[in-house]
Amino acid sequence: MNAQLRRRLEMAGRVREFLRAHKTDGVGEGLGLAKLEELIQRAEVLASQQRAGLVTALSTSTHRKTLRRALQSKLLLYLRAVGAVAAKENAELAVQFQVPPTNASQQALVTMARGMLEKATLHKDVLVKGGMAEQLLGDLAGTIGEFEQTIEATRASRREHIGATADLLAVAAEIAEQVKVLDGLVRYRFGDNAELMGAWRSARNVLGPFKTKNAPEAGGSQTPKAA
């Protein structure tokens, strides 16, 4: 969530608290506060979805890096080495097991790894005779499948994050419109009360609550001047 959007939602929370505090005065009654409450609740749900999408994307990306290292620096290297030995008996295998370059794209890595797995499955007996552990093919298939799952999980989480962000921006715009309506209501009700209007302006300030010039600093000993 960007800073501007976060500040707008924080402002909405302050406005809600102001209206709740003055509910007995009639300002918080009716559809005005109820509508704002509904919008804030929707925004909170969308913000959670947005965060969840981002966390999932980061998590799956980290796991995918681990799987990629396992493929390139362990499983496929092992298969290439066995292939080189087996090629002495079957020359066709000499060029069948080439490890993808370290900078290969995700899709290129999957494509090449699956190609090597298919060839190794086809020539399993020769490779086992050349020193390949039989469980290598199962481990390789499982790692490739898990790698592909992380790719799809990242795509899905990014879609969720982008969708939640778009919806959140739309709700934030509705909140801004609703606060304008409530601003008119508060001015109508408390326009002659300087103290409450000051509190209201502070609450609806998007940049955050502000201090008056005569307000003492937190922890200070300054005494407010008499009005």
Segment 106-138, tens digit of pLDDT: 999 999 999 999 999 999 998 998 899 989 999
Residues with Cβ within 8 Å of residue 43, at least 6 apart in sequence: 9, 12, 168, 171, 172, 175
How many Å apart are CA 76 and CA 192, to the nearest integer?
78
Mean pLDDT of the 47-65 span? 91
Q: Report which of residues 224 and 98 the model is more confident about.
A: 98
> What was the pLDDT predicted at 87?
84
Residue 74 pLDDT grade (very low, low, confident, very high; cuts 50, 70, 90) = very high
What proportion of the chain, given as a percentage, has pLDDT over 70? 88
Classify 30 in phi/psi space as left (phi over 0), alpha (psi -120 to 50) or beta: left
Asked if pLDDT for residue 31 goes beyond 80, the answer is: no
Work out the mean pLDDT of the chain and round it to a whole number.
85
CB 68 within 8 A of CB 109: yes
> What was the pLDDT predicted at 218?
41
Segment 141-188, tens digit of pLDDT: 999 999 999 999 999 998 888 999 999 999 999 999 999 989 988 888
The Cα-based distances of 127 to 73, 87, 117, 136 in angstroms read 19, 9, 12, 11
